[in-house]
Structure 1
């Protein structure tokens, strides 16, 4: 059985019927966030049905069709990616993904999908890889953008979930648009920048009792890094310690609970040993017991250092709260 690294702490492996108990425990943790978007989550409710879900993919792989792979973070299954359709004769396939909250904000899905898409194009000679997402699934659509896909259109009222009709967005990337071997170095750089941003954003998550550790921000920044809040009349400029300490407090003392933040779109430019990323984000959680949602934009600068790529500065501006 192959195992591919997705960074220092994560791995991509095949997900097979014999792993149904682990898969079911994972789906039980992920059900509330996965079920609205992945219909088979509602079908995997006990060991027999979880086994049947994985067996369908095993049967599909046996006929060179659908395939499923799990993402393990620190030894725990937290999500996965799959070919929901794979038609070698036509050269068209569809990639999908899912993730529980413990794996969010670290770029795992994007990196895993790149592995599948690269295999489809370079090993199997596929012509087109598709990505189908419900129009309201902002995180899934953000992954399609990060993968360099184009939005082909919308299938209006295409699918039904729990009695509700949904529009489905279709995104795709063609073989000639996928980075070639000569572009591999830039693709690797972009994947690393995705990872750094994922670590930064994921550091704030305290959903489901997760205890955030904002100390990891020091790992993705140069020691002299600056983080700037430009949300008021004047910018507030923090060094790393000044930024981390108060946020660690509010995320662990009950002030801010069930909080998460995620990118919904980004534009990244790389030039030699420097890079810039402009991104839109959303966030939600409870502040002193009251639910809130927000959004805004970030601009982030990166440097290539002897220790690898690191963030050098980040500035953000929150959008005004809607009335």
Structure 2
């Protein structure tokens, strides 16, 4: 199973079925907060929904097409980060993430994204990583900007969000930029 230690208190771990209750609890307690930008919350109403989601992500992992990892802080699930899929022919992927409300503002997502970028370029040998963020989600846009992603453009009406379409900014990072800038050295 995938585990990536970030620091003494924080690690990324592949979500497993046994994490369904913790995932649902975090989702449910942050529901109103998360619903502003995430379209899937209405489909996550029970622990079983979280379990089915995890089972799907394990199939994704076993088919070598990305994965979803829990962000664990001092043994507690703080959020989720992962690769939507991997385009092996073009050596590219995109990262998605969310953090429980009570974990916001502590830099967890920035360090988790840095770790995942490092893993994608160093271990998976990918060439390009994208992060797409709603144009009005300013807080989430700061994460790729902090770690050296370039804002490449805007995709209009990219996502249906409950009652309206939202536009997405596309942020991209190439391995050569990562290697040249040593983005993960602190």
TM-score, normalization: structure 2? 0.91
SS at match of 1:179: helix
The structure with the greater share of residues assigned to strand is 1
Assess, with a 3 A threshold, how the Cα gap between structure 1 residues 106 and 6 changes in structure 2: closer, same or farther. Answer: farther
- Given that 1:40 and 1:53 are in contact with CA atoms closer than 8 Å, whether structure 2 keeps it comes out as no
Shift, 1:2, TM fit: 5.2
Equivalent in the alignment of 2:127: 127
Shift, 1:7, TM fit: 3.4
- Given that 1:66 and 1:83 are in contact with CA atoms closer than 8 Å, whether structure 2 keeps it comes out as yes
Equivalent in the alignment of 1:59: 59
SS at match of 2:53: helix
Q: Distance in 2 between matches of 1:79 and 1:162?
A: 22
SS at match of 1:170: strand
Question: Is 2:147 the partner of 1:150?
Answer: no
- Given that 1:179 and 1:187 are in contact with CA atoms closer than 8 Å, whether structure 2 keeps it comes out as no
Q: Distance in 1 between matches of 2:84 and 2:2?
A: 20
Q: Distance in 2 between matches of 1:126 and 1:168?
A: 23
Which 5+ residue runs of structure 1 have no aligned equivalent? 190-323
Equivalent in the alignment of 2:137: 137
Q: Distance in 2 between matches of 1:147 and 1:51?
A: 32
Equivalent in the alignment of 1:187: 184
Assess, with a 3 A threshold, how the Cα gap between structure 1 residues 108 and 141 changes in structure 2: closer, same or farther. Answer: same
Shift, 1:108, TM fit: 1.0
Q: Distance in 2 between matches of 1:26 and 1:158?
A: 27
Q: Distance in 2 between matches of 1:51 and 1:68?
A: 13
Q: Spell out, residue by residue over 1:127-162, the C-alpha distance to the aligned partner (whole angstroms, 9 max, x if none).
A: 110001111111110001012000110011221111
Q: Spell out, residue by residue over 1:32-72, the C-alpha distance to the aligned partner (whole angstroms, 9 max, x if none).
A: 22222222333221022111111121111111113111112
Equivalent in the alignment of 2:113: 113
- CA radius of gyration, larger in: 1
Question: Is 2:88 the partner of 1:88?
Answer: yes
Q: Spell out, residue by residue over 1:193-251, the C-alpha distance to the aligned partner (whole angstroms, 9 max, x if none).
A: xxxxxxxxxxxxxxxxxxxxxxxxxxxxxxxxxxxxxxxxxxxxxxxxxxxxxxxxxxx
- Given that 2:118 and 2:184 are in contact with CA atoms closer than 8 Å, whether structure 1 keeps it comes out as no
Give the aligned length: 186
